Amino acid sequence: MRQFDYIRPTSLADAIAAWSPGAAYLGGGTNLVDLMKIGVQQPDRLIDLGRLPGLDRIEMRPDGGARIGALVRNADLAHDPAFAAAFPVVAEALLAGASGQLRNMATVGGNLMQRPRCAYFQDPHSACNRRAPGAGCAARGGEASGLAVLGWSDSCIATNPSDFGVALAALDAVVEVQGPDGGREIPFAAFHRLPGDTPEIETALAPGELILALCLPAGAAAFRDHARYLKLRERTSFAFALVSAAAALRMEGDRIAAALAGEADEVLVVGHSSGAHLAVSVLSALIRAGRVPSDGPALGLLTLGQVVPMLSFLPRAARLRGDLRFLSTRDELAWIDISAPGDGCSFALCDPVTVSGVAPEAKRWPLVISAAFTQTLSPERWKALRWRFFRLHFQYLCAFDRPGDYDYFRVTAGPQTLAARYDGRPASKSRIEVAVSKYTSVQAA
C-alpha cells in the first residue's frame, strides 16, 4: 500500500471540506480497505466518516416510511425489530449478503458504494476499462461467471454486487446526498449507472458528494406481506449472487370490488401458477371486509396450474393457510381448480386446502378438476409438448384440440357463469386429498 493521509472529521462540513480529487470517503472499510491492499484503489487521502454525528440512526417515520443513516451497520438494520417487520424484503437482502462478521462492520452507505467483484477488475495486471479507462475488458473473452446478463456494454460486463441495493430498487428508495454544492436527493433507480462507454463512472454522485441516508417511501411498508428477496449463489454463505431478484406485489382488491358493484353477470378472477394463492388472499380480504354484495354479480375464482403448497407449506405462511381455510367454506363464490398430471410445474390435482392441512368440516371449495392433457390434446401435440414442461404449464391459457370439461375460452368468454358451468360436476377421481403439510397454524382474520 502506498502512503496516504488519514483524516477523521467530526462534522459533515469538515468531511466535505477535506475532500479533493484523489481522496476517498471511508465507511465500514470492508471493501475499500481490501482494494487498497491489492492496489486496485489508491487514494492519497482517506476521510473516515465514522465520527460524523446523526448518521447511525434508524428513523421509522409516522407515515410508514423510514430514514436510514448512511453509517447504520448492515447487521443492525437487518435485526432492528421495527424495521424488519415493516420492510422484510430489505432485511432478507441484507442477511443474504457477505458473512455475519462483515455485516457487523459494513455500513449501508458503504454497501451501495462497493466496487464490482469482477476478478479482472480486482487484478491490477488485467485489462479493465472500469479501473483504467481505455485499457479494454479482459472479462469479455475470459471467465464471465457471475457477470452481467443484461445492461452490459462493449466496455464492461461487471455488475454491482449489492444484495441490499436490489431490495431498495424494488421499493423505490431515495438516496440523500450532500456535497460541496449542497444537498439533494437521487432516486435509487438512478443512483447506479450502466457502464456504457464510461464504466469508470459508477454512480450519479458528483465529485465530493457523500451519502447521508437512504429513505424508503411511506408506500413501501404496504408491501410487507408480499415482498421477498431471492438470491441464487454457489454456496449459502459469503457468496455473491449469480442471479438475484426482489419482488414486491401490491395486493389491492379495489378493481374487483368496483366490478362487483357493477351490472355484469359475473366477475371472474383467474389465478395461474403463483397467481392462484394471490387470488385466494385478495378474495378472502374482500369477503372479510364485506365488499362482495349478496345482490351483485356472481363471483368466480378459477385457479390454473396452482403452486399453492410452495408457500402454504412454509412455517410462516399462517396467513395464507388462514385464507385457504376461510375461502373453502364461503357461499359468496364458486372456486374451480384446474390442473393436469402432465404439468410438472404445478401441484397437479392436489386440493390446495386439504394438502395444506387446513380443510374444515364445512369445506366446499375448490372443486378440483383435471385438464386431462392426454385426452384434450391431440396425440401429435401431446408428443410435441410432453417434455416441454414450462410450455405445458401455460397450456391452461391456450386452446385445446379436443376440449373436455375445461376450455379457457369457453369459461372466460362463454355465456355461463363458473358456478353454472360446473354445477353438479363431480371432482376428479384422481385428486389428492391428504393433509401433507406439517405446518398447519392459521392466522386469525
C-alpha dist (Å) from residue 86 to 75, 91, 108, 326, 333: 16, 10, 18, 26, 32
pLDDT digits (tens, 9 = 90+) for 307-348: 999 999 999 899 999 999 999 999 999 999 999 999 999 999
Domain annotation for the chain: domains and CATH numbers? 54-114+160-248 (3.30.465.10), 254-421 (no CATH)
Give the bridge partners for 213, in sequence order: 69, 176
Return the pLDDT at 334.
Answer: 98
Return the pLDDT at 236.
Answer: 82
Predicted structure pTM score: 0.72
Residue with cell 469538515: 14
d(CA 425, CA 409): 19
d(CA 403, CA 62): 55
Burial class (CB in 10 A: 0-12, 13-18, 19+), 200: middle
pLDDT digits (tens, 9 = 90+) for 161-207: 999 999 999 999 999 999 999 999 999 999 999 999 999 999 999 99
Return the pLDDT at 352.
Answer: 98
Return the pLDDT at 81.
Answer: 97
Give the bridge partners for 6, in sequence order: 46
Return the pLDDT at 4.
Answer: 95
Return the pLDDT at 444.
Answer: 74
Return the pLDDT at 1.
Answer: 64
Smallest Cα–Cα separation from 309: which of 443, 444, 438? 438
Return the pLDDT at 97.
Answer: 94
Amino acid making up residue 390: F
Contact 115, 123 (CB under 8 A): no
Return the pLDDT at 29.
Answer: 93
Chunked into runs of 10 residues, the chain (445 residues) has average pLDDT values of 91 97 96 95 96 96 96 98 96 94 96 96 96 96 89 95 96 97 97 97 97 96 88 88 88 85 94 95 95 95 97 94 97 97 95 98 97 96 94 95 93 94 96 96 83
